[in-house]
């Protein structure tokens, strides 16, 4: 076959005009044969949700040779004439001049036949599930959100920072850590039954990072505004639809920002992402809206349109206490807000995104800046209706002495944080930052119920396959 | 002090026009006092290489209170009038109305005083080195290259894919792997002295990925064109200026591409990156050109201007054999090309970037597509003058039976790759891809000699600090 450039299906469907000869490659989603001597193929190449309809006249030369191989899942190569389609719901269709099957997909063995497959089943064949409508759409949305995150920060002069994955610090025990080692079982145990980490690859005990924040602060204190976007890890044995052992986080960190600046940035960030995804992925979002959750489009537009409500933790507690709602968890100043509390505030009271700020110091990590009241810190959480917390952040404690006291109060050893403390010893600046769990965002945007279905290859307890 | 928006120094120096009142925050790089009752501060906020000159009249109110704290490294906040500068080499300067020091930097302890610091020393204080000219410039260039990589692929409709970090497959032993575990020393050893991985977090032995290629192929075989950009790992005990234990890789993978398409993409990719970095980071690149390597700007322009030479491995061997050069490693068909060979070809013979293709199958991995000659595979390496290999890629073997044979010839067990083989069983398509080591690119672009100096926190044998 002569060398010509393939045209992507997204481009073909968008151009919506006839063309004498084009080349299309993709995978057959369905085949239907008419009595009149034609086959109708639906071809998909992943560039968009929609398929291209290809009409194959059984009289063309290549049909006989390839017909037996043209099944659901086969890889096909079609040269043909693009014409306006008389059919409903499609703009153009391709009249094949040549059809060739590159790789077959034996119907007796190919698992993705045209019928309903449960997400549980598709997780078992995670190497084939991107060939379905749902997972193609999820991955296109995931891609666009990723790019949009970069665009947002780059437009504002933030520098993208790669913080280390392998680390010796545990960001104040934000979660259980995976250990990284090259010691084998023979050398792991030294004479006293203690492990001799001086023999390990890095000469000390190392694990997988739970957050890039502390390292992000290092660079914010030199380059002003940075963001990370990388993988983080939790070795918690949580088998839920909201937990992954490996997930991606976005963590901006900014010098010269106070808590208000931090909240403004977080609000503008989310608004930007939702506006962009509505504009860039309308077809995929409509699919989710139709298929899984009819409120998706409306909710996303709400994030774009409404100014977020801002309320202090103390006021939120008062609201909850006078609500007369029967919460599972008691409402008490000093306790963590549970998902039911957050959702009541954003869904029932304000009916829009809410930022809750100034949390009790006892329930927040050591690095958050103390307020003058002696009992709260400059923390903030952004709550979205139907999801709950999507962003958590704070102004950071920039006073060396206060920070040491906070570490001691949390039973941390300041010596373990000498370099972090140096940021306050030398040229300390007010600064703030936040973190966004990327998969939770993709979950919210797509409406997918299980977080394992918004990441290409999920890692969860007892599962690191593929 | 009243709430006003800080202006970034990059913006101030670019605007080059007077302004009645602006707020600047940053860190003092130097201070010089004149006999006439003025202090001259050089302030940097990381937004660009250049400092802003601030002139402080000793008669302003805030001077006396803050003067004792205005040292190299202090964090300062200045409100003043921006005026045209009479001084050479600077467009504007700031006449301070108010100067405040937020965080001091005690000259007796702050290690970054104005003098020469070796890169070895700066690696010891990796949490402070971003405050130097060199590391600020490296990180701005690194940031721009990262963004440019995303732009290149996004403009072409490639989807950004996050492949897993924790994995049970080893990409045919591309390198030594780190083990990831939650077993502690007590539970690691089961009764027979064998480790019982069924007790480990993922229920089997897991490690840190050495490449996302195989998973990338999964998504290319559904969505056509994808790219990864994420961390990868090598547990090799290599203490050189070119090796890191943790580094970032870019790996595009494309269905419907043959080797020629693959080479075209790689060439366009590099040309795009170099053109963009010359346009976007001229100040930082001029700094490197002046400071470290006077040929940088010329070489980068060369990547943009010259069509890459393409030559087969067999022809490259012939060229080397008739060169009469005294190579350390012998030149023989079937052996790997060494750095000296690659550099001879790109620097001495062609004096520009070269792509070498069709390598002997014996020296290349199982997944590369076999040529009909029965002895070479459709591999390609892109060689840059002065650096050597920057990109390695291939068309992938898409024939199920050939792939099995290749695995067996390389002593791999096809059962371990059942899902990878499924990509050839069901809807196989011609496809290709390549990998680019991101830190090697940053090294080449900046001219930094040691790869540890182009990543924020390098991980190398015996070092995972910060």
- B41, β-bridge pairs: B31, B54
Using a CB–CB cutoff of 8 Å, tell me whether B257 touches chain A: no
For chain A, give the mean pLDDT.
94
Q: According to the model, what pLDDT value does residue B176 have?
A: 86
Chains A, B: CB contacts within 8 A come to 317
Locate A310 and state its tokens: 């801002």
User: How much of chain B exceeds pLDDT 90, in percent?
Assistant: 89
Please name the helix (run of DSSP H) or strand (run of DSSP E) that holds residue A13, with its range, or none.
helix A9-15
Q: In terms of Cα–Cα distance, which of B456, B392, B455 is closest to B243?
A: B455
Q: According to the model, what pLDDT value does residue A26 have?
A: 98
Q: Max alpha carbon distance in chain A (Å)? A: 85
Predicted confidence (pLDDT) per residue in B389-406, tens digit: 999 999 999 999 999 999
> Scanning the structure block, which residue is given the tokens 């403390």?
A421
Using a CB–CB cutoff of 8 Å, tell me whether A360 touches chain B: no
User: How much of chain A exceeds pLDDT 70, in percent?
Assistant: 96
* Chain A nearest CA to B302, separation (Å): 27
Reported confidence tier of residue B233, pLDDT bands at 50, 70, 90: very high
- A6, β-bridge pairs: A23
Please name the helix (run of DSSP H) or strand (run of DSSP E) that holds residue A62, with its range, or none.
helix A61-67
Report CB contact under 8 Å: A180, B179: yes
A427 neighbourhood in chain B, CB within 8 Å: 27-28, 73-75, 103-105, 110, 131
Q: According to the model, what pLDDT value does residue B131 have?
A: 98
Q: According to the model, what pLDDT value does residue B196 have?
A: 83
Q: According to the model, what pLDDT value does residue A1 have?
A: 46
Please name the helix (run of DSSP H) or strand (run of DSSP E) that holds residue A305, with its range, or none.
helix A296-305
The vertex-A64 CA angle with A62 and A68, nearest 5°, equals: 115
Q: According to the model, what pLDDT value does residue B1 have?
A: 45
Report CB contact under 8 Å: B215, A456: yes
Please name the helix (run of DSSP H) or strand (run of DSSP E) that holds residue A350, with its range, or none.
none
Q: According to the model, what pLDDT value does residue A248 have?
A: 98
Q: How large is the average pLDDT for residues B71-84? A: 97
Report CB contact under 8 Å: A162, B74: no
CA B123 to each of CA A122, A203, B117, B234: distance values in angstroms, whole numbers, following the listed order? 47, 17, 10, 21
Residues in contact with A139: Cβ distance below 8 Å, sequence separation at least 6, in sequence order: A130, A456, B159, B161, B219, B223
Q: How large is the average pLDDT for residues A11-35? A: 95
Report CB contact under 8 Å: A188, B185: yes
Closest residue in chain B to residue A207, using alpha carbons only: B180
Residues in contact with A51: Cβ distance below 8 Å, sequence separation at least 6, in sequence order: A9, A29, A30, A42, A43, A44
Using a CB–CB cutoff of 8 Å, tell me whether B134 touches chain A: no
Report CB contact under 8 Å: B164, A464: yes
Using a CB–CB cutoff of 8 Å, tell me whether B304 touches chain A: no
What is the end-to-end Cα distance of chain B in Å, rounded?
Answer: 35
Cβ density class A438-459: b for 16+ within 10 Å, e for less: bbbbbbbbbbbeebbbbbbbbb
- Among B162, B420, B464, beta carbon nearest to A202: B464
Half-sphere exposure for A98 (CA within 13 Å, toward CB): 11
- Among B103, B139, B237, beta carbon nearest to A223: B139
Element counts in chain A: helices (H) and strands (E): 14, 16
- Among A195, A222, A255, beta carbon nearest to B136: A222
Half-sphere exposure for B21 (CA within 13 Å, toward CB): 7
Reported confidence tier of residue A4, pLDDT bands at 50, 70, 90: confident
Q: According to the model, what pLDDT value does residue A174 have?
A: 58
B6 neighbourhood in chain A, CB within 8 Å: 256
Closest residue in chain A to residue B171, using alpha carbons only: A466
Locate B279 and state its tokens: 């346009």
Closest residue in chain B to residue A124, using alpha carbons only: B419
Residue B346: count of CB within 10 angstroms of its CB: 25
B135 neighbourhood in chain A, CB within 8 Å: 222
* Chain A nearest CA to B365, separation (Å): 19
B166 neighbourhood in chain A, CB within 8 Å: 178, 208, 233, 245-246, 459, 464
Q: According to the model, what pLDDT value does residue B323 have?
A: 93
Using a CB–CB cutoff of 8 Å, tell me whether B175 touches chain A: no
Locate B98 and state its tokens: 């108010």
Contact B303, B384 (CB under 8 A): yes
A185 neighbourhood in chain B, CB within 8 Å: 188-189, 193-195
Closest residue in chain A to residue B222, using alpha carbons only: A131
B234 neighbourhood in chain A, CB within 8 Å: none
Report CB contact under 8 Å: B147, A136: no
B75 neighbourhood in chain A, CB within 8 Å: 427-429
Report CB contact under 8 Å: B106, A425: yes
Using a CB–CB cutoff of 8 Å, tell me whether A328 touches chain B: no
Locate B450 and state its tokens: 């040691």
Closest residue in chain B to residue A157, using alpha carbons only: B47
B195 neighbourhood in chain A, CB within 8 Å: 185
Predicted confidence (pLDDT) per residue in A155-210, tens digit: 999 999 999 999 998 655 556 899 999 987 555 555 566 778 888 999 999 999 99
Using a CB–CB cutoff of 8 Å, tell me whether B4 touches chain A: no
- B98, β-bridge pairs: B79
B161 neighbourhood in chain A, CB within 8 Å: 139, 143, 456
Predicted confidence (pLDDT) per residue in B370-391, tens digit: 999 999 999 999 999 988 999 9
DSSP state of A361: G
**Cα–Cα distance, A458 to A13 (Å, whole number):** 33
Report CB contact under 8 Å: B456, A215: yes
**Cα–Cα distance, B233 to B437 (Å, whole number):** 11
Interface of A with B in 16-35 (CB under 8 A): 25-28
Predicted confidence (pLDDT) per residue in A317-338, tens digit: 999 999 989 999 999 999 999 9
CA A308 to each of CA A346, A355, A458: distance values in angstroms, whole numbers, following the listed order? 10, 7, 32
A27 neighbourhood in chain B, CB within 8 Å: 222, 427, 429
3-state secondary structure chain B: CCCCCECCHHHHHHHCCCEEEEEEEEEEEEEEECCCCEEEEEEECCCCCCCEEEEEECCCHHHHHHHCCCCCCCEEEEEEEEEECCCCCCCEEEEEEEEEEEECCCCCCCCCCCCCCCHHHHHHCCCCHHHCHHHHHHHHHHHHHHHHHHHHHHHCCCEEECCCCEECCCHHHCCCCCEEECCCHHHHECCCCCECHHHCCCCCCEEECCCCHHHHHHHHHHHCEEEEEEEEECCCCCCCCCCCCEEEEEEEEEECCCHHHHHHHHHHHHHHHHHHHHHHCHHHHHHHHHHCCCCHHHHHHHHHHCCCEEEEHHHHHHHHHCCCCCCCCCCCCCCCCCHHHHHHHHHHHCCCCEEEEEEEHHHCCCCECECCCCCEEEEEEEEECCCEEEEEEEEECCCHHHHHHHHHHCCCCHHHHHHHHHHHHCCCCCEEEEEEEHHHHHHHHHCCCCHHHCCCCCCECCECCC
Mutate to test the interface with A, among B464, B465, B466 (most CBs of A within 10 A): B464
Using a CB–CB cutoff of 8 Å, tell me whether B164 touches chain A: yes
Residues in contact with A44: Cβ distance below 8 Å, sequence separation at least 6, in sequence order: A9, A26, A27, A29, A50, A51, A52, A136
DSSP state of A76: E
Report CB contact under 8 Å: A179, B182: yes
3-state secondary structure B197-252: HHHCCCCCCEEECCCCHHHHHHHHHHHCEEEEEEEEECCCCCCCCCCCCEEEEEEE
Closest residue in chain B to residue A465, using alpha carbons only: B168
Closest residue in chain A to residue B205, using alpha carbons only: A464
**Cα–Cα distance, A305 to A295 (Å, whole number):** 15
Q: How large is the average pLDDT for residues A340-362? A: 96
* Chain A nearest CA to B409, separation (Å): 23
Report CB contact under 8 Å: A429, B25: yes
Reported confidence tier of residue A371, pLDDT bands at 50, 70, 90: very high
This model of the complex carries an ipTM of 0.96
Report CB contact under 8 Å: A161, B456: yes
Predicted confidence (pLDDT) per residue in B348-357, tens digit: 999 999 999 9
Please name the helix (run of DSSP H) or strand (run of DSSP E) that holds residue A129, with its range, or none.
none
Mutate to test the interface with A, among B41, B125, B165 (most CBs of A within 10 A): B165
Q: Is a pLDDT exceeding 80 seen at residue B186?
A: no
Locate B82 and state its tokens: 């921006």
Q: According to the model, what pLDDT value does residue A188 have?
A: 55
Contact B360, B317 (CB under 8 A): no
Closest residue in chain B to residue A190, using alpha carbons only: B185
Q: How many residues does chain A have?
A: 466
């Amino acid at each position: 076959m002569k060398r010509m450039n393939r045209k992507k299906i997204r481009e073909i469907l968008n151009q919506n005009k006839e063309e004498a000869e084009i080349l299309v490659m993709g995978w057959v989603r369905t085949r239907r044969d008419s009595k009149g001597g034609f086959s109708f193929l639906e071809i998909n190449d992943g560039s968009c949700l929609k398929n291209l309809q290809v009409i194959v006249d059984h009289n063309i030369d290549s049909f006989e040779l390839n017909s037996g191989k043209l099944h659901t899942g086969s890889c096909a190569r079609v040269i043909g004439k693009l014409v306006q389609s008389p059919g409903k719901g499609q703009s153009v269709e391709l009249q094949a001049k040549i059809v060739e099957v590159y790789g077959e997909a034996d119907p007796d063995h190919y698992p993705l036949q045209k019928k309903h497959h449960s997400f549980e089943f598709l997780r078992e064949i995670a190497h084939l599930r991107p060939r379905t409508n749902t997972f193609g759409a999820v991955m296109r949305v995931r891609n666009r959100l990723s790019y949009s995150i970069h665009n947002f920060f780059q437009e504002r002069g933030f520098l993208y920072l790669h913080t280390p994955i392998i680390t010796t610090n545990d960001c104040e025990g934000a979660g259980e850590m995976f250990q990284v080692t090259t010691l084998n079982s023979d050398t792991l145990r030294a004479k006293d039954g203690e492990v001799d980490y001086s023999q390990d690859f890095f000469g000390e005990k190392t694990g997988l990072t739970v957050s890039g924040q502390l390292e992000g602060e290092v660079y914010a204190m030199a380059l002003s505004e940075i963001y990370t976007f990388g993988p983080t890890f939790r070795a918690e044995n949580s088998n839920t639809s909201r937990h992954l052992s490996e997930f991606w986080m976005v963590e901006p960190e900014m010098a010269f920002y106070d808590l208000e600046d931090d909240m403004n940035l977080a609000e503008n960030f989310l608004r930007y992402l939702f506006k962009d995804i509505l504009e860039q992925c309308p077809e995929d979002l409509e699919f989710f809206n139709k298929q899984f959750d009819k409120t998706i489009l409306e909710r996303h537009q709400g994030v774009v349109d409404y100014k977020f409500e801002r309320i202090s933790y103390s006021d939120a507690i008062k609201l909850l206490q006078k609500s007369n709602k029967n919460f599972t968890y008691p409402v008490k100043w000093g306790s963590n807000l549970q998902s039911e509390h957050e959702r009541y505030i954003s869904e029932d009271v304000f009916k829009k995104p809410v930022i809750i700020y100034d949390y009790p110091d006892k329930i927040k990590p050591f690095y958050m800046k103390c307020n003058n009241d002696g009992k709260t810190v400059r923390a903030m959480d952004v709550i979205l209706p139907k999801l709950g917390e999507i962003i958590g952040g704070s102004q950071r404690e920039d006073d060396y002495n206060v920070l040491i006291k906070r570490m001691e109060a949390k039973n941390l050893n300041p010596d373990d944080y000498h370099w972090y403390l140096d940021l306050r010893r030398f040229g300390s600046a007010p600064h703030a930052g936040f973190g966004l769990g990327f998969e939770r965002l993709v979950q919210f945007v797509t409406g997918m119920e299980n977080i394992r279905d918004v990441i290409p290859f999920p890692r969860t307890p007892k599962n690191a396959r593929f």
